[in-house]
Structure 1
Protein backbone atom coordinates (compact mmCIF):
# COMPACT_ATOMS: atom_id res chain seq x y z
CA UNK A 1 0.00 0.00 0.00
CA UNK A 2 2.82 2.42 0.88
CA UNK A 3 4.40 1.86 -2.50
CA UNK A 4 1.14 2.79 -4.23
CA UNK A 5 0.73 5.92 -2.11
CA UNK A 6 4.30 7.06 -2.77
CA UNK A 7 4.17 6.39 -6.50
CA UNK A 8 0.80 8.12 -6.64
CA UNK A 9 2.10 11.13 -4.74
CA UNK A 10 5.02 11.42 -7.16
CA UNK A 11 2.67 11.06 -10.13
CA UNK A 12 0.36 13.66 -8.56
CA UNK A 13 3.31 16.05 -8.20
CA UNK A 14 4.06 15.63 -11.91
CA UNK A 15 0.39 16.17 -12.74
CA UNK A 16 0.25 19.25 -10.53
CA UNK A 17 3.27 20.72 -12.30
CA UNK A 18 1.56 20.12 -15.65
CA UNK A 19 -1.70 21.65 -14.37
CA UNK A 20 0.17 24.74 -13.19
CA UNK A 21 1.97 25.04 -16.54
CA UNK A 22 -1.34 24.78 -18.40
CA UNK A 23 -2.93 27.37 -16.11
CA UNK A 24 -0.05 29.83 -16.41
CA UNK A 25 0.05 29.29 -20.16
CA UNK A 26 -3.64 30.17 -20.33
CA UNK A 27 -2.96 33.31 -18.29
CA UNK A 28 -0.27 34.31 -20.80
CA UNK A 29 -2.39 33.54 -23.87
CA UNK A 30 -5.54 35.26 -22.67
CA UNK A 31 -3.83 37.90 -20.52
CA UNK A 32 -6.06 36.92 -17.63
CA UNK A 33 -5.21 37.46 -13.97
CA UNK A 34 -4.61 34.72 -11.46
CA UNK A 35 -7.70 33.49 -9.69
CA UNK A 36 -8.22 34.83 -6.17
CA UNK A 37 -10.29 31.75 -5.23
CA UNK A 38 -7.49 29.65 -3.62
CA UNK A 39 -6.50 32.53 -1.35
CA UNK A 40 -10.13 33.19 -0.44
CA UNK A 41 -10.65 29.52 0.41
CA UNK A 42 -7.55 29.42 2.63
CA UNK A 43 -8.61 32.64 4.35
CA UNK A 44 -12.10 31.32 5.00
CA UNK A 45 -10.90 27.92 6.26
CA UNK A 46 -8.30 29.51 8.54
CA UNK A 47 -10.93 31.82 10.06
CA UNK A 48 -13.37 28.92 10.55
CA UNK A 49 -10.61 26.93 12.26
CA UNK A 50 -10.01 29.81 14.65
CA UNK A 51 -6.51 30.51 13.30
CA UNK A 52 -6.74 33.48 10.94
CA UNK A 53 -3.75 34.10 8.69
CA UNK A 54 -1.56 36.67 10.46
CA UNK A 55 -0.37 39.99 9.14
CA UNK A 56 -1.84 43.05 7.50
CA UNK A 57 -1.96 44.41 4.01
CA UNK A 58 0.63 43.12 1.58
CA UNK A 59 2.26 40.80 4.15
CA UNK A 60 -1.03 38.99 4.74
CA UNK A 61 -1.88 38.96 1.04
CA UNK A 62 1.49 37.36 0.27
CA UNK A 63 0.93 34.69 2.92
CA UNK A 64 -2.52 33.93 1.51
CA UNK A 65 -1.09 33.69 -2.01
CA UNK A 66 1.55 31.20 -0.86
CA UNK A 67 -0.93 29.19 1.18
CA UNK A 68 -3.37 29.10 -1.73
CA UNK A 69 -0.67 27.71 -4.04
CA UNK A 70 0.47 25.19 -1.42
CA UNK A 71 -3.10 24.00 -0.92
CA UNK A 72 -3.36 23.31 -4.65
CA UNK A 73 -0.15 21.32 -4.54
CA UNK A 74 -1.47 19.36 -1.55
CA UNK A 75 -4.70 18.51 -3.39
CA UNK A 76 -2.78 17.42 -6.49
CA UNK A 77 -0.29 15.27 -4.59
CA UNK A 78 -3.03 13.86 -2.34
CA UNK A 79 -5.26 13.00 -5.29
CA UNK A 80 -2.29 11.32 -6.94
CA UNK A 81 -1.60 9.32 -3.77
CA UNK A 82 -5.21 8.12 -3.73
CA UNK A 83 -4.96 7.15 -7.41
CA UNK A 84 -1.72 5.30 -6.72
CA UNK A 85 -3.35 3.37 -3.88
CA UNK A 86 -6.26 2.44 -6.16
CA UNK A 87 -3.83 1.29 -8.84
CA UNK A 88 -1.89 -0.77 -6.28
CA UNK A 89 -5.20 -2.34 -5.20
CA UNK A 90 -5.77 -3.47 -8.78
CA UNK A 91 -7.83 -0.72 -10.42
CA UNK A 92 -6.27 -0.22 -13.84
CA UNK A 93 -8.12 1.77 -16.41
CA UNK A 94 -6.82 2.46 -19.91
CA UNK A 95 -5.02 5.81 -19.98
CA UNK A 96 -7.69 7.48 -22.13
CA UNK A 97 -10.33 6.72 -19.47
CA UNK A 98 -8.18 6.80 -16.34
CA UNK A 99 -6.67 10.17 -17.27
CA UNK A 100 -10.09 11.71 -17.79
CA UNK A 101 -11.37 10.20 -14.54
CA UNK A 102 -8.32 11.47 -12.63
CA UNK A 103 -8.78 14.96 -14.07
CA UNK A 104 -12.47 15.05 -13.15
CA UNK A 105 -11.65 13.74 -9.65
CA UNK A 106 -9.01 16.45 -9.14
CA UNK A 107 -11.42 19.09 -10.43
CA UNK A 108 -14.15 17.91 -8.07
CA UNK A 109 -11.68 17.83 -5.16
CA UNK A 110 -11.01 21.54 -5.65
CA UNK A 111 -14.18 23.03 -7.09
CA UNK A 112 -16.81 21.40 -4.89
CA UNK A 113 -15.29 22.42 -1.53
CA UNK A 114 -14.69 25.95 -2.82
CA UNK A 115 -18.28 26.24 -4.01
CA UNK A 116 -19.48 24.89 -0.67
CA UNK A 117 -17.38 27.50 1.15
CA UNK A 118 -18.98 30.15 -1.05
CA UNK A 119 -15.68 31.47 -2.42
CA UNK A 120 -16.67 30.54 -5.98
CA UNK A 121 -20.01 30.34 -7.69
CA UNK A 122 -21.88 27.09 -8.02
CA UNK A 123 -20.32 25.18 -10.95
CA UNK A 124 -23.83 24.59 -12.31
CA UNK A 125 -24.00 28.33 -13.04
CA UNK A 126 -20.68 28.51 -14.91
CA UNK A 127 -20.50 29.55 -18.55
CA UNK A 128 -18.91 27.33 -21.21
CA UNK A 129 -15.64 29.36 -21.19
CA UNK A 130 -15.52 29.04 -17.37
CA UNK A 131 -15.85 25.27 -17.67
CA UNK A 132 -13.20 25.03 -20.38
CA UNK A 133 -10.68 27.17 -18.46
CA UNK A 134 -11.12 24.92 -15.41
CA UNK A 135 -11.52 21.57 -17.14
CA UNK A 136 -8.55 21.70 -19.54
CA UNK A 137 -5.83 22.10 -16.86
CA UNK A 138 -7.47 19.39 -14.76
CA UNK A 139 -7.52 17.01 -17.72
CA UNK A 140 -3.83 17.79 -18.27
CA UNK A 141 -3.34 16.89 -14.60
CA UNK A 142 -5.23 13.64 -15.02
CA UNK A 143 -3.39 12.46 -18.11
CA UNK A 144 0.07 13.36 -16.80
CA UNK A 145 -0.68 11.73 -13.45
CA UNK A 146 -2.04 8.61 -15.15
CA UNK A 147 0.90 8.38 -17.55
CA UNK A 148 3.37 8.79 -14.66
CA UNK A 149 1.65 6.02 -12.72
CA UNK A 150 1.80 3.73 -15.74
CA UNK A 151 5.47 4.55 -16.29
CA UNK A 152 6.32 3.71 -12.67
CA UNK A 153 4.21 0.56 -12.54
CA UNK A 154 3.56 -0.73 -16.06
CA UNK A 155 3.08 -4.41 -15.21
CA UNK A 156 0.79 -4.51 -12.22
CA UNK A 157 0.85 -4.80 -8.43
Structure 2
Protein backbone atom coordinates (compact mmCIF):
# COMPACT_ATOMS: atom_id res chain seq x y z
CA UNK A 1 0.00 0.00 0.00
CA UNK A 2 2.76 2.46 0.95
CA UNK A 3 4.60 2.01 -2.36
CA UNK A 4 1.41 2.54 -4.28
CA UNK A 5 0.63 5.75 -2.37
CA UNK A 6 4.17 7.04 -2.90
CA UNK A 7 3.83 6.19 -6.58
CA UNK A 8 0.54 8.10 -6.56
CA UNK A 9 2.19 11.11 -4.91
CA UNK A 10 4.85 11.18 -7.63
CA UNK A 11 2.22 10.76 -10.34
CA UNK A 12 0.16 13.55 -8.74
CA UNK A 13 3.21 15.82 -8.81
CA UNK A 14 3.63 15.13 -12.54
CA UNK A 15 -0.07 15.77 -13.07
CA UNK A 16 0.13 19.03 -11.12
CA UNK A 17 2.99 20.15 -13.34
CA UNK A 18 0.89 19.37 -16.42
CA UNK A 19 -2.09 21.26 -14.96
CA UNK A 20 0.08 24.33 -14.34
CA UNK A 21 1.64 24.15 -17.81
CA UNK A 22 -1.76 23.97 -19.51
CA UNK A 23 -3.11 26.77 -17.30
CA UNK A 24 -0.19 29.08 -18.09
CA UNK A 25 -0.36 28.22 -21.78
CA UNK A 26 -4.05 29.17 -21.74
CA UNK A 27 -3.18 32.47 -20.07
CA UNK A 28 -0.55 33.17 -22.76
CA UNK A 29 -2.80 32.20 -25.68
CA UNK A 30 -5.97 33.95 -24.52
CA UNK A 31 -4.36 36.77 -22.57
CA UNK A 32 -6.48 35.97 -19.56
CA UNK A 33 -5.43 36.90 -16.03
CA UNK A 34 -4.55 34.38 -13.35
CA UNK A 35 -7.40 33.18 -11.19
CA UNK A 36 -7.71 34.94 -7.84
CA UNK A 37 -9.61 32.06 -6.21
CA UNK A 38 -6.53 30.43 -4.62
CA UNK A 39 -5.67 33.69 -2.85
CA UNK A 40 -9.32 34.28 -1.95
CA UNK A 41 -9.44 30.76 -0.49
CA UNK A 42 -6.37 31.40 1.66
CA UNK A 43 -7.79 34.68 2.93
CA UNK A 44 -11.19 33.11 3.66
CA UNK A 45 -9.65 30.08 5.41
CA UNK A 46 -7.45 32.37 7.52
CA UNK A 47 -10.53 34.40 8.48
CA UNK A 48 -12.52 31.27 9.35
CA UNK A 49 -9.62 29.91 11.44
CA UNK A 50 -9.01 33.23 13.15
CA UNK A 51 -5.46 33.37 11.80
CA UNK A 52 -4.02 36.81 11.15
CA UNK A 53 -1.82 37.02 8.07
CA UNK A 54 1.07 39.43 8.78
CA UNK A 55 0.71 42.78 7.00
CA UNK A 56 4.32 42.83 5.87
CA UNK A 57 4.47 40.82 2.64
CA UNK A 58 0.78 39.87 3.01
CA UNK A 59 0.03 39.71 -0.73
CA UNK A 60 3.10 37.56 -1.36
CA UNK A 61 2.28 35.23 1.55
CA UNK A 62 -1.31 34.82 0.37
CA UNK A 63 -0.18 34.21 -3.23
CA UNK A 64 2.37 31.62 -2.14
CA UNK A 65 -0.10 29.87 0.16
CA UNK A 66 -2.67 29.78 -2.64
CA UNK A 67 -0.18 28.10 -4.97
CA UNK A 68 0.75 25.62 -2.24
CA UNK A 69 -2.94 24.73 -1.78
CA UNK A 70 -3.08 23.73 -5.45
CA UNK A 71 0.06 21.62 -5.18
CA UNK A 72 -1.23 19.88 -2.06
CA UNK A 73 -4.53 19.17 -3.83
CA UNK A 74 -2.69 17.53 -6.73
CA UNK A 75 -0.60 15.42 -4.36
CA UNK A 76 -3.64 14.36 -2.33
CA UNK A 77 -5.54 13.23 -5.42
CA UNK A 78 -2.46 11.36 -6.66
CA UNK A 79 -2.01 9.63 -3.30
CA UNK A 80 -5.70 8.74 -3.30
CA UNK A 81 -5.35 7.27 -6.77
CA UNK A 82 -2.41 5.20 -5.55
CA UNK A 83 -4.42 3.99 -2.57
CA UNK A 84 -7.39 2.84 -4.65
CA UNK A 85 -5.02 1.11 -7.05
CA UNK A 86 -3.41 -0.69 -4.08
CA UNK A 87 -6.89 -1.74 -2.98
CA UNK A 88 -7.30 -3.62 -6.26
CA UNK A 89 -9.03 -1.17 -8.62
CA UNK A 90 -7.75 -1.76 -12.17
CA UNK A 91 -9.66 0.55 -14.52
CA UNK A 92 -9.06 1.16 -18.20
CA UNK A 93 -6.80 4.07 -19.09
CA UNK A 94 -9.82 6.14 -20.10
CA UNK A 95 -11.71 5.44 -16.88
CA UNK A 96 -8.66 6.07 -14.71
CA UNK A 97 -7.96 9.40 -16.42
CA UNK A 98 -11.58 10.49 -16.10
CA UNK A 99 -11.74 9.54 -12.42
CA UNK A 100 -8.48 11.39 -11.64
CA UNK A 101 -9.79 14.42 -13.55
CA UNK A 102 -13.09 14.47 -11.66
CA UNK A 103 -11.27 13.88 -8.38
CA UNK A 104 -8.95 16.83 -9.01
CA UNK A 105 -11.85 19.10 -9.93
CA UNK A 106 -13.79 18.03 -6.84
CA UNK A 107 -10.83 18.50 -4.49
CA UNK A 108 -10.24 22.00 -5.82
CA UNK A 109 -13.79 23.28 -6.45
CA UNK A 110 -15.73 21.74 -3.55
CA UNK A 111 -13.77 23.42 -0.74
CA UNK A 112 -13.97 26.79 -2.53
CA UNK A 113 -17.73 26.38 -2.86
CA UNK A 114 -18.03 25.27 0.78
CA UNK A 115 -16.27 28.39 2.09
CA UNK A 116 -18.11 30.72 -0.30
CA UNK A 117 -15.22 31.68 -2.56
CA UNK A 118 -16.64 30.27 -5.80
CA UNK A 119 -19.80 28.52 -6.91
CA UNK A 120 -19.37 26.29 -9.98
CA UNK A 121 -23.11 26.60 -10.65
CA UNK A 122 -22.46 30.24 -11.55
CA UNK A 123 -19.53 29.60 -13.88
CA UNK A 124 -19.76 30.53 -17.55
CA UNK A 125 -18.87 28.09 -20.32
CA UNK A 126 -15.50 29.82 -20.65
CA UNK A 127 -14.91 29.43 -16.89
CA UNK A 128 -15.64 25.71 -17.14
CA UNK A 129 -13.30 25.27 -20.10
CA UNK A 130 -10.53 27.16 -18.28
CA UNK A 131 -11.00 24.80 -15.31
CA UNK A 132 -11.70 21.46 -16.99
CA UNK A 133 -8.99 21.45 -19.66
CA UNK A 134 -6.06 21.80 -17.21
CA UNK A 135 -7.69 19.22 -14.93
CA UNK A 136 -7.97 16.82 -17.89
CA UNK A 137 -4.23 17.25 -18.37
CA UNK A 138 -3.80 16.52 -14.67
CA UNK A 139 -5.92 13.35 -14.83
CA UNK A 140 -4.27 11.87 -17.90
CA UNK A 141 -0.70 12.70 -16.88
CA UNK A 142 -1.25 11.44 -13.33
CA UNK A 143 -2.66 8.09 -14.44
CA UNK A 144 -0.17 7.64 -17.29
CA UNK A 145 2.73 8.45 -14.96
CA UNK A 146 1.43 6.01 -12.38
CA UNK A 147 1.11 3.31 -15.03
CA UNK A 148 4.67 3.96 -16.20
CA UNK A 149 6.00 3.40 -12.68
CA UNK A 150 4.50 -0.05 -12.14
CA UNK A 151 7.07 -2.66 -11.18
CA UNK A 152 7.25 -5.88 -13.19
CA UNK A 153 7.42 -8.13 -10.12
CA UNK A 154 4.67 -6.56 -8.03
CA UNK A 155 1.66 -8.86 -7.54
CA UNK A 156 -1.30 -7.96 -9.72
CA UNK A 157 0.64 -5.35 -11.65
CA UNK A 158 2.76 -5.38 -14.76
CA UNK A 159 5.17 -3.16 -16.63
CA UNK A 160 3.67 -0.74 -19.11
CA UNK A 161 4.63 -1.06 -22.77
CA UNK A 162 5.69 2.26 -24.39
CA UNK A 163 2.66 2.04 -26.72
CA UNK A 164 0.37 1.91 -23.69
CA UNK A 165 2.04 5.03 -22.32
CA UNK A 166 1.52 6.77 -25.67
CA UNK A 167 -2.13 5.66 -25.68
CA UNK A 168 -2.60 6.85 -22.11
CA UNK A 169 -1.24 10.28 -22.95
CA UNK A 170 -3.43 10.52 -26.05
CA UNK A 171 -6.55 9.40 -24.18
CA UNK A 172 -6.97 6.14 -26.09
CA UNK A 173 -7.76 2.89 -24.32
CA UNK A 174 -5.15 0.17 -24.64
Structure 1-normalised TM-score? 0.93
Shift of 1:131: 0.9
Shift of 1:96: 1.2
Equivalent pairs counted in the alignment come to 154
Task: Give runs of ≥4 in structure 1 deviating > 4 Å.
Answer: none
Shift of 1:154: 6.3
Query: Match for residue 134 of structure 1?
Result: 131
CA-to-aligned-CA distance 1:111-145 (integer Å, 9 cap, x gap): 1110121111x212222111111000001000000
Structure 1 gap segments, 5+ residues each:
none
Query: Match for residue 29 of structure 2?
Result: 29
Structure 2-normalised TM-score? 0.85
Q: Which has the larger radius of gyration?
A: 2
Give RMSD over aligned pairs: 1.3
Query: Match for residue 99 of structure 1?
Result: 97
1:150 aligns with 2:147: yes
What SS does the aligned partner of 1:139 have? helix
Q: Tell me: higher relative CO, structure 1 or 2? Use CA pairs within 8 A at least 6 residues apart.
A: 1
Between Structure 1 and Structure 2, which shows a larger proportion of helix residues?
1
Q: Equivalents in 2 of 1:93, 1:53: separation in Å?
A: 44
Shift of 1:38: 0.3
